[in-house]
Structure 1
Amino acid sequence: MKKENLIFGLHPVLEAVKSKKPIDKLYIQKGMASSKIDAILNDLDQEAVSVNYVPIEKLDRLIRSNHQGIIASISPISFKSLEEVVEERLENKKDPVFIILDQVSDVRNFGAILRTAECTGVDAVIIQKKGGAPVSGDTVKASAGAIFNLAVCKVDHIKDAIFYLQGSGVKTIAATEKTSQTIYDTDLTGPLAIIMGSEGKGVSKSVLSLVDQSASLPVLGEINSLNVSVACGVFLYEMIRQRGL
Protein backbone atom coordinates (compact mmCIF):
# COMPACT_ATOMS: atom_id res chain seq x y z
CA MET A 1 0.00 0.00 0.00
CA LYS A 2 1.54 3.31 -1.07
CA LYS A 3 1.91 6.01 1.56
CA GLU A 4 0.52 8.68 -0.75
CA ASN A 5 -2.83 6.85 -0.57
CA LEU A 6 -2.90 7.06 3.24
CA ILE A 7 -4.23 9.68 5.66
CA PHE A 8 -3.40 9.21 9.34
CA GLY A 9 -4.10 10.90 12.64
CA LEU A 10 -7.42 11.57 14.34
CA HIS A 11 -8.03 15.09 13.08
CA PRO A 12 -6.89 14.53 9.44
CA VAL A 13 -9.01 11.39 9.12
CA LEU A 14 -12.03 13.13 10.68
CA GLU A 15 -11.67 16.03 8.24
CA ALA A 16 -11.31 13.59 5.31
CA VAL A 17 -14.54 11.86 6.33
CA LYS A 18 -16.40 15.16 6.80
CA SER A 19 -15.28 16.36 3.36
CA LYS A 20 -16.54 13.11 1.78
CA LYS A 21 -13.17 11.88 0.57
CA PRO A 22 -13.60 8.46 -1.12
CA ILE A 23 -12.20 6.28 1.66
CA ASP A 24 -11.63 2.65 0.73
CA LYS A 25 -10.43 1.15 4.03
CA LEU A 26 -10.17 2.40 7.60
CA TYR A 27 -7.68 0.89 10.07
CA ILE A 28 -8.32 1.50 13.77
CA GLN A 29 -6.15 0.29 16.63
CA LYS A 30 -7.85 -2.51 18.59
CA GLY A 31 -9.25 -1.41 21.94
CA MET A 32 -8.90 2.28 21.16
CA ALA A 33 -11.65 4.56 22.49
CA SER A 34 -11.99 8.21 21.54
CA SER A 35 -14.75 10.72 20.92
CA LYS A 36 -13.09 11.52 17.58
CA ILE A 37 -13.15 7.84 16.62
CA ASP A 38 -16.88 7.82 17.43
CA ALA A 39 -17.37 10.96 15.30
CA ILE A 40 -15.46 9.39 12.39
CA LEU A 41 -17.56 6.22 12.50
CA ASN A 42 -20.79 8.20 12.79
CA ASP A 43 -19.96 10.30 9.71
CA LEU A 44 -18.53 7.41 7.70
CA ASP A 45 -20.34 5.94 4.72
CA GLN A 46 -20.12 2.43 6.14
CA GLU A 47 -21.79 0.93 3.09
CA ALA A 48 -18.66 1.67 1.06
CA VAL A 49 -15.84 1.57 3.62
CA SER A 50 -14.16 -1.48 5.11
CA VAL A 51 -13.47 -0.82 8.81
CA ASN A 52 -10.65 -2.96 10.21
CA TYR A 53 -9.68 -3.15 13.90
CA VAL A 54 -6.01 -4.13 13.94
CA PRO A 55 -3.05 -4.40 16.36
CA ILE A 56 -0.85 -1.34 16.71
CA GLU A 57 1.94 -3.28 14.97
CA LYS A 58 -0.11 -3.31 11.77
CA LEU A 59 -0.50 0.48 11.92
CA ASP A 60 3.21 0.92 12.65
CA ARG A 61 4.05 -1.08 9.52
CA LEU A 62 1.79 1.12 7.40
CA ILE A 63 3.02 4.45 8.78
CA ARG A 64 6.19 5.18 10.76
CA SER A 65 4.89 8.59 11.89
CA ASN A 66 2.51 9.21 14.81
CA HIS A 67 -0.70 7.73 13.41
CA GLN A 68 -2.67 8.18 16.69
CA GLY A 69 -4.24 4.75 16.22
CA ILE A 70 -6.05 5.42 12.94
CA ILE A 71 -5.18 5.28 9.24
CA ALA A 72 -7.46 5.76 6.23
CA SER A 73 -6.75 4.48 2.73
CA ILE A 74 -8.09 6.87 0.09
CA SER A 75 -9.63 5.45 -3.07
CA PRO A 76 -9.00 7.11 -6.46
CA ILE A 77 -12.70 6.65 -7.28
CA SER A 78 -16.06 7.01 -5.59
CA PHE A 79 -18.00 3.80 -5.21
CA LYS A 80 -21.52 3.42 -6.57
CA SER A 81 -24.61 2.00 -4.90
CA LEU A 82 -25.33 -1.49 -6.23
CA GLU A 83 -29.09 -0.98 -6.02
CA GLU A 84 -28.98 2.34 -7.86
CA VAL A 85 -26.70 1.02 -10.63
CA VAL A 86 -28.70 -2.16 -11.19
CA GLU A 87 -32.04 -0.35 -11.20
CA GLU A 88 -30.77 2.32 -13.62
CA ARG A 89 -29.16 -0.17 -16.02
CA LEU A 90 -32.16 -2.50 -16.10
CA GLU A 91 -34.39 0.48 -16.86
CA ASN A 92 -32.21 1.97 -19.58
CA LYS A 93 -30.37 -0.95 -21.18
CA LYS A 94 -31.81 -4.08 -22.73
CA ASP A 95 -29.27 -6.62 -21.48
CA PRO A 96 -26.88 -5.23 -18.86
CA VAL A 97 -23.85 -7.21 -17.76
CA PHE A 98 -22.27 -7.24 -14.32
CA ILE A 99 -19.05 -8.80 -13.04
CA ILE A 100 -18.83 -10.06 -9.44
CA LEU A 101 -15.36 -10.71 -8.03
CA ASP A 102 -15.26 -13.29 -5.26
CA GLN A 103 -12.05 -12.44 -3.36
CA VAL A 104 -9.78 -11.65 -6.33
CA SER A 105 -6.77 -10.42 -4.38
CA ASP A 106 -4.01 -9.64 -6.90
CA VAL A 107 -4.11 -5.98 -7.93
CA ARG A 108 -2.77 -6.78 -11.41
CA ASN A 109 -5.54 -9.30 -12.02
CA PHE A 110 -8.08 -6.84 -10.64
CA GLY A 111 -6.83 -4.09 -12.92
CA ALA A 112 -6.76 -6.37 -15.97
CA ILE A 113 -10.35 -7.45 -15.30
CA LEU A 114 -11.44 -3.81 -15.02
CA ARG A 115 -9.73 -3.02 -18.32
CA THR A 116 -11.41 -5.91 -20.16
CA ALA A 117 -14.76 -5.12 -18.50
CA GLU A 118 -14.60 -1.55 -19.76
CA CYS A 119 -13.66 -2.69 -23.26
CA THR A 120 -16.58 -5.12 -23.41
CA GLY A 121 -19.27 -2.77 -22.11
CA VAL A 122 -19.73 -4.22 -18.63
CA ASP A 123 -22.12 -2.07 -16.61
CA ALA A 124 -20.60 -2.54 -13.15
CA VAL A 125 -17.95 -4.51 -11.32
CA ILE A 126 -19.03 -5.68 -7.87
CA ILE A 127 -16.48 -6.34 -5.13
CA GLN A 128 -16.63 -7.25 -1.46
CA LYS A 129 -15.49 -4.85 1.26
CA LYS A 130 -12.98 -7.27 2.74
CA GLY A 131 -10.64 -9.84 1.25
CA GLY A 132 -10.16 -8.49 -2.25
CA ALA A 133 -7.51 -6.36 -3.92
CA PRO A 134 -7.50 -2.70 -2.84
CA VAL A 135 -8.76 0.08 -5.06
CA SER A 136 -5.56 2.12 -5.27
CA GLY A 137 -3.20 3.93 -7.60
CA ASP A 138 -1.79 0.53 -8.57
CA THR A 139 -5.31 -0.54 -9.59
CA VAL A 140 -5.63 2.54 -11.79
CA LYS A 141 -2.32 1.74 -13.46
CA ALA A 142 -3.11 -1.95 -13.96
CA SER A 143 -6.48 -1.05 -15.49
CA ALA A 144 -4.85 1.51 -17.83
CA GLY A 145 -7.30 4.06 -16.39
CA ALA A 146 -10.35 1.99 -17.32
CA ILE A 147 -11.55 2.10 -13.71
CA PHE A 148 -12.54 5.76 -14.22
CA ASN A 149 -15.07 4.70 -16.88
CA LEU A 150 -16.70 1.93 -14.86
CA ALA A 151 -19.15 1.75 -11.99
CA VAL A 152 -17.52 -0.11 -9.09
CA CYS A 153 -19.89 -1.26 -6.34
CA LYS A 154 -18.70 -2.45 -2.96
CA VAL A 155 -20.89 -4.78 -0.89
CA ASP A 156 -20.68 -6.42 2.54
CA HIS A 157 -21.20 -9.91 1.16
CA ILE A 158 -21.09 -11.36 -2.35
CA LYS A 159 -24.06 -13.57 -1.49
CA ASP A 160 -26.29 -10.56 -0.83
CA ALA A 161 -25.35 -9.11 -4.23
CA ILE A 162 -26.24 -12.40 -5.92
CA PHE A 163 -29.61 -12.58 -4.19
CA TYR A 164 -30.35 -8.98 -5.15
CA LEU A 165 -29.42 -9.50 -8.79
CA GLN A 166 -31.44 -12.70 -9.03
CA GLY A 167 -34.42 -10.93 -7.49
CA SER A 168 -34.02 -8.23 -10.13
CA GLY A 169 -34.21 -10.75 -12.98
CA VAL A 170 -30.45 -10.99 -13.63
CA LYS A 171 -29.09 -14.46 -14.43
CA THR A 172 -26.01 -15.39 -12.38
CA ILE A 173 -23.30 -17.64 -13.85
CA ALA A 174 -20.14 -18.71 -11.99
CA ALA A 175 -16.90 -19.31 -13.84
CA THR A 176 -15.49 -22.55 -12.44
CA GLU A 177 -13.65 -25.66 -13.55
CA LYS A 178 -15.91 -27.68 -11.23
CA THR A 179 -18.50 -28.29 -13.96
CA SER A 180 -18.58 -30.17 -17.26
CA GLN A 181 -20.71 -27.47 -18.91
CA THR A 182 -18.57 -25.08 -20.94
CA ILE A 183 -19.31 -21.46 -21.79
CA TYR A 184 -19.93 -22.56 -25.38
CA ASP A 185 -22.94 -24.58 -24.15
CA THR A 186 -24.16 -21.77 -21.88
CA ASP A 187 -26.58 -19.00 -22.79
CA LEU A 188 -24.84 -15.70 -22.06
CA THR A 189 -27.59 -13.48 -23.45
CA GLY A 190 -30.08 -11.43 -21.43
CA PRO A 191 -29.35 -9.56 -18.19
CA LEU A 192 -26.30 -11.33 -16.81
CA ALA A 193 -23.88 -11.41 -13.88
CA ILE A 194 -20.64 -13.38 -14.21
CA ILE A 195 -18.92 -14.43 -10.99
CA MET A 196 -15.13 -14.81 -11.07
CA GLY A 197 -13.30 -16.47 -8.18
CA SER A 198 -10.05 -15.93 -6.34
CA GLU A 199 -6.64 -16.84 -7.71
CA GLY A 200 -6.15 -19.74 -5.30
CA LYS A 201 -9.57 -21.22 -4.59
CA GLY A 202 -11.81 -20.03 -7.42
CA VAL A 203 -15.45 -19.29 -6.71
CA SER A 204 -16.24 -20.41 -3.16
CA LYS A 205 -18.50 -23.42 -2.58
CA SER A 206 -21.07 -21.32 -0.73
CA VAL A 207 -21.35 -18.98 -3.73
CA LEU A 208 -21.50 -21.87 -6.21
CA SER A 209 -24.51 -23.23 -4.35
CA LEU A 210 -26.43 -19.96 -4.98
CA VAL A 211 -25.83 -19.18 -8.65
CA ASP A 212 -28.23 -20.07 -11.45
CA GLN A 213 -25.56 -21.84 -13.52
CA SER A 214 -21.87 -22.69 -13.61
CA ALA A 215 -19.70 -22.77 -16.71
CA SER A 216 -16.12 -23.73 -17.45
CA LEU A 217 -13.50 -23.11 -20.09
CA PRO A 218 -11.99 -26.06 -21.98
CA VAL A 219 -8.43 -26.68 -20.77
CA LEU A 220 -6.38 -28.99 -22.98
CA GLY A 221 -2.92 -28.68 -21.43
CA GLU A 222 -1.34 -30.02 -18.24
CA ILE A 223 -2.23 -26.96 -16.17
CA ASN A 224 -5.87 -27.28 -15.13
CA SER A 225 -6.91 -23.63 -14.89
CA LEU A 226 -6.39 -20.21 -16.42
CA ASN A 227 -5.39 -16.94 -14.81
CA VAL A 228 -8.58 -15.29 -13.53
CA SER A 229 -8.18 -12.15 -15.64
CA VAL A 230 -7.62 -14.22 -18.78
CA ALA A 231 -10.62 -16.41 -17.99
CA CYS A 232 -12.78 -13.33 -17.41
CA GLY A 233 -11.76 -11.98 -20.82
CA VAL A 234 -12.74 -15.21 -22.55
CA PHE A 235 -16.13 -15.22 -20.83
CA LEU A 236 -16.82 -11.63 -21.79
CA TYR A 237 -15.85 -12.03 -25.42
CA GLU A 238 -17.92 -15.21 -25.73
CA MET A 239 -20.80 -13.15 -24.29
CA ILE A 240 -20.22 -10.54 -27.01
CA ARG A 241 -20.11 -13.23 -29.71
CA GLN A 242 -23.41 -14.74 -28.57
CA ARG A 243 -25.07 -11.33 -28.55
CA GLY A 244 -23.86 -10.55 -32.06
CA LEU A 245 -22.21 -7.30 -30.99
Structure 2
Amino acid sequence: MKDTDRIYGIRAVMEAIHAHEDIDKIFIQKGLKSELSRELETLIRKKNISVSYVPIEKLNRITKDNHQGVIASISPISFYKMEQLVEEVVAKKDLPLFLLLDQLSDVRNFGAIIRTAECTGVDGIIIQKKGAAPVTADTVKTSAGAAFKVPIAKVDHLKDAVFYLQASGIKVIAATEKTEHTLYDVSFSEPCAIVMGAEDTGISPSLLKASDATAKLPLLGEIASLNVSVACGVFLYEVVRQRR
Protein backbone atom coordinates (compact mmCIF):
# COMPACT_ATOMS: atom_id res chain seq x y z
CA MET A 1 0.00 0.00 0.00
CA LYS A 2 1.48 3.35 -1.01
CA ASP A 3 0.87 6.65 0.76
CA THR A 4 -1.46 7.75 -2.04
CA ASP A 5 -3.55 4.58 -1.55
CA ARG A 6 -4.43 5.07 2.10
CA ILE A 7 -6.06 7.30 4.66
CA TYR A 8 -5.38 6.87 8.36
CA GLY A 9 -6.96 8.18 11.53
CA ILE A 10 -10.56 7.68 12.66
CA ARG A 11 -11.87 11.13 11.77
CA ALA A 12 -10.02 11.22 8.44
CA VAL A 13 -11.52 7.86 7.43
CA MET A 14 -15.00 8.97 8.48
CA GLU A 15 -14.64 12.13 6.41
CA ALA A 16 -13.53 10.04 3.42
CA ILE A 17 -16.64 7.87 3.74
CA HIS A 18 -18.89 10.93 3.94
CA ALA A 19 -17.11 12.35 0.87
CA HIS A 20 -17.95 9.15 -1.07
CA GLU A 21 -14.33 8.15 -1.63
CA ASP A 22 -13.96 4.72 -3.27
CA ILE A 23 -12.79 2.80 -0.22
CA ASP A 24 -11.87 -0.82 -0.85
CA LYS A 25 -11.23 -1.88 2.73
CA ILE A 26 -10.80 -0.51 6.23
CA PHE A 27 -8.38 -2.02 8.72
CA ILE A 28 -9.29 -1.52 12.37
CA GLN A 29 -7.13 -2.42 15.34
CA LYS A 30 -8.49 -5.35 17.32
CA GLY A 31 -9.95 -4.33 20.65
CA LEU A 32 -10.29 -0.67 19.70
CA LYS A 33 -13.04 0.76 21.89
CA SER A 34 -14.04 4.39 21.96
CA GLU A 35 -17.14 6.37 21.18
CA LEU A 36 -15.58 7.60 17.94
CA SER A 37 -14.51 4.11 16.82
CA ARG A 38 -18.04 2.79 17.50
CA GLU A 39 -19.40 5.66 15.39
CA LEU A 40 -17.03 4.66 12.59
CA GLU A 41 -18.11 1.01 12.79
CA THR A 42 -21.76 2.05 12.56
CA LEU A 43 -20.94 4.09 9.46
CA ILE A 44 -19.02 1.16 7.93
CA ARG A 45 -21.99 -1.16 8.41
CA LYS A 46 -24.38 1.42 6.98
CA LYS A 47 -22.25 1.87 3.85
CA ASN A 48 -21.49 -1.87 3.60
CA ILE A 49 -17.72 -1.32 3.41
CA SER A 50 -15.37 -4.28 3.75
CA VAL A 51 -13.52 -4.26 7.08
CA SER A 52 -10.80 -6.35 8.74
CA TYR A 53 -9.90 -6.33 12.42
CA VAL A 54 -6.13 -6.73 12.71
CA PRO A 55 -3.38 -6.57 15.36
CA ILE A 56 -1.76 -3.20 15.90
CA GLU A 57 1.49 -4.66 14.56
CA LYS A 58 -0.03 -4.94 11.08
CA LEU A 59 -1.11 -1.30 11.14
CA ASN A 60 2.36 -0.26 12.33
CA ARG A 61 3.91 -2.11 9.40
CA ILE A 62 1.70 -0.16 6.98
CA THR A 63 2.62 3.25 8.38
CA LYS A 64 4.84 4.78 11.05
CA ASP A 65 2.47 7.74 11.38
CA ASN A 66 -0.21 8.03 14.04
CA HIS A 67 -3.00 5.88 12.56
CA GLN A 68 -5.17 5.87 15.73
CA GLY A 69 -5.93 2.20 15.06
CA VAL A 70 -7.65 2.79 11.69
CA ILE A 71 -6.36 2.72 8.10
CA ALA A 72 -8.46 2.83 4.95
CA SER A 73 -7.32 1.47 1.60
CA ILE A 74 -8.45 3.74 -1.24
CA SER A 75 -9.08 2.43 -4.74
CA PRO A 76 -7.03 4.04 -7.54
CA ILE A 77 -10.08 3.89 -9.84
CA SER A 78 -13.67 5.09 -9.65
CA PHE A 79 -16.41 2.48 -9.63
CA TYR A 80 -19.62 2.56 -11.66
CA LYS A 81 -23.17 2.01 -10.49
CA MET A 82 -24.22 -1.38 -11.82
CA GLU A 83 -27.66 -0.33 -13.05
CA GLN A 84 -26.31 2.68 -14.92
CA LEU A 85 -23.51 0.63 -16.48
CA VAL A 86 -25.86 -2.09 -17.73
CA GLU A 87 -28.40 0.39 -19.07
CA GLU A 88 -25.77 2.36 -20.99
CA VAL A 89 -24.17 -0.74 -22.52
CA VAL A 90 -27.49 -2.36 -23.48
CA ALA A 91 -28.64 0.89 -25.10
CA LYS A 92 -25.63 1.15 -27.41
CA LYS A 93 -24.60 -2.47 -28.11
CA ASP A 94 -26.41 -5.38 -29.74
CA LEU A 95 -24.21 -8.02 -28.09
CA PRO A 96 -23.17 -6.86 -24.63
CA LEU A 97 -20.62 -8.92 -22.71
CA PHE A 98 -20.30 -8.67 -18.95
CA LEU A 99 -18.11 -10.48 -16.45
CA LEU A 100 -19.13 -11.27 -12.86
CA LEU A 101 -16.44 -12.27 -10.36
CA ASP A 102 -17.71 -14.16 -7.33
CA GLN A 103 -15.43 -13.59 -4.32
CA LEU A 104 -12.20 -13.57 -6.31
CA SER A 105 -9.56 -12.80 -3.68
CA ASP A 106 -6.16 -12.53 -5.37
CA VAL A 107 -5.37 -9.03 -6.65
CA ARG A 108 -2.99 -10.30 -9.33
CA ASN A 109 -5.55 -12.76 -10.68
CA PHE A 110 -8.00 -9.86 -10.69
CA GLY A 111 -5.55 -7.69 -12.61
CA ALA A 112 -4.84 -10.43 -15.16
CA ILE A 113 -8.58 -10.93 -15.69
CA ILE A 114 -9.13 -7.20 -16.21
CA ARG A 115 -6.35 -7.17 -18.81
CA THR A 116 -7.89 -10.10 -20.72
CA ALA A 117 -11.34 -8.53 -20.39
CA GLU A 118 -10.11 -5.35 -22.07
CA CYS A 119 -8.49 -7.35 -24.88
CA THR A 120 -11.69 -9.34 -25.53
CA GLY A 121 -14.13 -6.44 -25.52
CA VAL A 122 -15.83 -7.00 -22.16
CA ASP A 123 -18.21 -4.10 -21.53
CA GLY A 124 -18.10 -4.20 -17.75
CA ILE A 125 -16.96 -6.21 -14.74
CA ILE A 126 -19.21 -6.62 -11.70
CA ILE A 127 -17.87 -7.56 -8.27
CA GLN A 128 -19.28 -7.75 -4.76
CA LYS A 129 -18.48 -5.02 -2.25
CA LYS A 130 -17.47 -7.41 0.50
CA GLY A 131 -15.04 -10.28 0.11
CA ALA A 132 -13.79 -9.39 -3.37
CA ALA A 133 -10.19 -8.62 -4.21
CA PRO A 134 -9.61 -4.86 -3.96
CA VAL A 135 -8.41 -2.75 -6.85
CA THR A 136 -4.92 -1.85 -5.65
CA ALA A 137 -1.79 -0.53 -7.28
CA ASP A 138 -0.79 -4.18 -7.86
CA THR A 139 -4.12 -4.84 -9.58
CA VAL A 140 -3.62 -1.87 -11.89
CA LYS A 141 -0.03 -2.90 -12.63
CA THR A 142 -0.98 -6.52 -13.41
CA SER A 143 -3.82 -5.29 -15.63
CA ALA A 144 -1.27 -3.27 -17.66
CA GLY A 145 -3.48 -0.22 -17.16
CA ALA A 146 -6.66 -1.96 -18.34
CA ALA A 147 -8.25 -1.21 -14.94
CA PHE A 148 -8.63 2.38 -16.17
CA LYS A 149 -10.33 1.24 -19.39
CA VAL A 150 -12.83 -1.46 -18.37
CA PRO A 151 -15.77 -0.20 -16.27
CA ILE A 152 -15.99 -1.97 -12.90
CA ALA A 153 -19.14 -1.89 -10.77
CA LYS A 154 -19.60 -2.94 -7.17
CA VAL A 155 -22.83 -4.41 -5.79
CA ASP A 156 -23.99 -5.54 -2.36
CA HIS A 157 -24.96 -8.99 -3.67
CA LEU A 158 -23.99 -10.58 -6.99
CA LYS A 159 -27.28 -12.46 -7.06
CA ASP A 160 -29.09 -9.13 -7.42
CA ALA A 161 -26.79 -8.31 -10.35
CA VAL A 162 -27.67 -11.63 -11.98
CA PHE A 163 -31.40 -10.88 -11.70
CA TYR A 164 -30.89 -7.36 -13.06
CA LEU A 165 -28.88 -8.62 -16.02
CA GLN A 166 -31.50 -11.26 -16.80
CA ALA A 167 -34.26 -8.67 -16.65
CA SER A 168 -32.20 -6.62 -19.14
CA GLY A 169 -32.21 -9.48 -21.64
CA ILE A 170 -28.74 -10.80 -20.83
CA LYS A 171 -28.04 -14.53 -20.53
CA VAL A 172 -25.97 -15.44 -17.45
CA ILE A 173 -23.52 -18.33 -17.88
CA ALA A 174 -21.66 -19.77 -14.89
CA ALA A 175 -18.20 -21.24 -15.39
CA THR A 176 -18.13 -24.32 -13.17
CA GLU A 177 -16.86 -27.87 -13.19
CA LYS A 178 -20.20 -28.95 -11.67
CA THR A 179 -21.86 -29.50 -15.05
CA GLU A 180 -21.87 -31.88 -17.97
CA HIS A 181 -21.71 -29.08 -20.55
CA THR A 182 -18.45 -27.69 -21.87
CA LEU A 183 -18.10 -24.09 -22.99
CA TYR A 184 -18.14 -25.38 -26.58
CA ASP A 185 -21.74 -26.57 -26.05
CA VAL A 186 -22.95 -23.09 -25.06
CA SER A 187 -23.94 -20.28 -27.41
CA PHE A 188 -22.30 -16.93 -26.66
CA SER A 189 -23.75 -15.35 -29.82
CA GLU A 190 -26.28 -13.38 -27.80
CA PRO A 191 -26.08 -10.79 -25.01
CA CYS A 192 -24.41 -12.60 -22.12
CA ALA A 193 -22.57 -12.39 -18.83
CA ILE A 194 -20.01 -14.92 -17.63
CA VAL A 195 -19.67 -15.72 -13.93
CA MET A 196 -16.25 -16.80 -12.64
CA GLY A 197 -15.84 -18.17 -9.12
CA ALA A 198 -13.33 -17.84 -6.31
CA GLU A 199 -9.94 -19.52 -6.60
CA ASP A 200 -10.68 -22.08 -3.88
CA THR A 201 -14.46 -22.47 -3.60
CA GLY A 202 -15.73 -21.65 -7.07
CA ILE A 203 -19.14 -20.09 -7.65
CA SER A 204 -21.58 -19.98 -4.72
CA PRO A 205 -24.53 -22.43 -4.95
CA SER A 206 -27.10 -19.61 -5.02
CA LEU A 207 -25.42 -18.00 -8.05
CA LEU A 208 -25.18 -21.35 -9.83
CA LYS A 209 -28.89 -21.90 -9.26
CA ALA A 210 -29.76 -18.41 -10.53
CA SER A 211 -27.67 -18.70 -13.72
CA ASP A 212 -29.28 -19.50 -17.08
CA ALA A 213 -26.59 -21.97 -18.13
CA THR A 214 -23.43 -23.64 -16.84
CA ALA A 215 -20.27 -24.61 -18.68
CA LYS A 216 -16.90 -26.12 -17.91
CA LEU A 217 -13.51 -26.42 -19.55
CA PRO A 218 -12.47 -29.90 -20.71
CA LEU A 219 -9.40 -30.91 -18.69
CA LEU A 220 -7.32 -33.66 -20.29
CA GLY A 221 -4.49 -33.86 -17.76
CA GLU A 222 -4.32 -35.00 -14.15
CA ILE A 223 -4.61 -31.56 -12.52
CA ALA A 224 -8.23 -30.85 -11.57
CA SER A 225 -8.45 -27.15 -12.42
CA LEU A 226 -6.88 -24.15 -14.12
CA ASN A 227 -5.90 -20.86 -12.56
CA VAL A 228 -9.03 -18.69 -12.57
CA SER A 229 -7.46 -15.96 -14.71
CA VAL A 230 -6.40 -18.54 -17.32
CA ALA A 231 -9.84 -20.20 -17.29
CA CYS A 232 -11.49 -16.80 -17.66
CA GLY A 233 -9.30 -16.05 -20.66
CA VAL A 234 -10.35 -19.30 -22.36
CA PHE A 235 -14.03 -18.48 -21.81
CA LEU A 236 -13.68 -14.93 -23.09
CA TYR A 237 -11.84 -15.98 -26.22
CA GLU A 238 -14.50 -18.58 -26.96
CA VAL A 239 -16.96 -15.66 -26.92
CA VAL A 240 -14.69 -13.81 -29.36
CA ARG A 241 -14.45 -16.90 -31.61
CA GLN A 242 -18.23 -17.42 -31.72
CA ARG A 243 -18.94 -13.77 -32.42
CA ARG A 244 -16.41 -13.34 -35.23
With normalisation by structure 2, the TM-score equals: 0.88
2:26 equivalent to 1:26: yes
Query: What secondary structure does 1:68 align onto?
Result: coil
Q: Output the CA distance in 2 between the equivalents of 1:148 and 1:111.
A: 11
Q: Which residue does the alignment assign to 1:88?
A: 88
Query: Does structure 2 conserve the Cα–Cα contact (< 8 Å) formed by 1:14 and 1:39?
Result: no
Q: Output the CA distance in 2 between the equivalents of 1:51 and 1:147.
A: 20
2:174 equivalent to 1:174: yes
Query: What secondary structure does 1:113 align onto?
Result: helix
Q: Output the CA distance in 2 between the equivalents of 1:161 and 1:31.
A: 36
- The sequence identity of aligned pairs, in percent, is 56
Q: Which residue does the alignment assign to 1:127?
A: 127
User: How many residue pairs are counted as aligned between the two chains?
Assistant: 241
Q: Counterpart of 1:50 in structure 2: which amino acid?
A: I
Query: What secondary structure does 2:240 align onto?
Result: helix
Query: Does structure 1 conserve the Cα–Cα contact (< 8 Å) formed by 2:10 and 2:36?
Result: no
Q: CA deviation at 1:21?
A: 3.4
Gaps of 5+ in 2: none
Q: Output the CA distance in 1 between the equivalents of 2:228 and 2:37.
A: 44
2:189 equivalent to 1:202: no
Q: Output the CA distance in 2 between the equivalents of 1:83 and 1:45.
A: 20
Gaps of 5+ in 1: none
Q: Counterpart of 2:53 in structure 1: which amino acid?
A: V
Q: CA deviation at 1:173?
A: 0.4
Task: Supply the RMSD in Å over aligned alpha carbons.
Answer: 2.6
Q: Which residue does the alignment assign to 2:49?
A: 50
Query: What secondary structure does 2:127 align onto?
Result: strand
Q: Output the CA distance in 1 between the equivalents of 2:108 and 2:55.
A: 29
Q: Which residue does the alignment assign to 2:103?
A: 103
Q: Which residue does the alignment assign to 1:240?
A: 240
Q: Output the CA distance in 1 between the equivalents of 2:53 and 2:110.
A: 25
Q: Output the CA distance in 2 between the equivalents of 1:206 and 1:18.
A: 33
Deviation by residue 1:134-185 (Cα, 9 ceiling, x = unmatched)? 1100000010110000111111111111111112211100001111111111
2:34 equivalent to 1:41: no
Q: Which residue does the alignment assign to 2:143?
A: 143
Q: Counterpart of 2:36 in structure 1: which amino acid?
A: S
Report the more deviating stretch, 21-30 or 127-136.
21-30
Query: Does structure 2 conserve the Cα–Cα contact (< 8 Å) formed by 1:10 and 1:36?
Result: no
Q: Output the CA distance in 2 between the equivalents of 1:39 and 1:231.
A: 38
Query: Does structure 2 conserve the Cα–Cα contact (< 8 Å) formed by 1:182 and 1:218?
Result: yes
Q: CA deviation at 1:64?
A: 4.7
Q: Output the CA distance in 2 between the equivalents of 1:112 and 1:215.
A: 21
Give 1:198-237 correspondences, 5 Å limit. 198-237=198-237
Query: What secondary structure does 1:25 align onto?
Result: strand
